[in-house]
Amino acid sequence: MNVSTQNRKAAIGGVDFDALRRMLAALSDPTRQQIVAVLSRERLNVTQLTERFSLSQPAISHHLRILSSAGLLVQERHGRERVYRLDTKCCQGLADQFRNFMSQCCANAKCC
């Protein structure tokens, strides 16, 4: 971690802005929002997701890679297949950081 990253985290209560940016960017796409909603309720493999969303397997895989890179999904191996689920612990941590950022950022602001 370089000095500028440390300063950004220290400036507002230890918030990891890079992680928040990745999460918000990943969730900016409506298809990825729907995938997260589905995977918050059940574990599915790529084929099952492809059938649900009527998208090609490469398109679903692309969305899963982005969501996984943002830390929103966990990939588990069940035999020969990979099953995806929402990483609730990570999502809760990112939500807590965002809430912390907003409360500190807006504590004395006249705009909020």
**Each residue of 31-88: pLDDT tens digit?**
999 999 999 999 999 999 999 998 999 999 999 999 999 999 999 998 899 999 999 9
Say what the pLDDT of residue 15 is.
79
The maximal CA–CA distance of the chain, rounded, in angstroms, is 56
From the list 79, 78, 97, 75, the residue with the least C-alpha distance to 87 is 75
Residue with tokens 């969303």: 53
Amino acid at 4: S
Q: How confident is the model at residue 100 (pLDDT cuts 50, 70, 90)?
A: confident
Predicted TM-score (pTM) of the model is: 0.78
Q: Domain extents for the chain?
A: 3-105
Q: How confident is the model at residue 111 (pLDDT cuts 50, 70, 90)?
A: low
- Residues near 104 by beta carbon (within 8 Å), at least 6 away in sequence: 12, 13
Alpha helices in 54-87 (DSSP H): 57-69
Query: Which CATH fold would you assign to the domain 3-105?
Result: Arc Repressor Mutant, subunit A (1.10.10)
Residue 100, both tokens: 């912390």
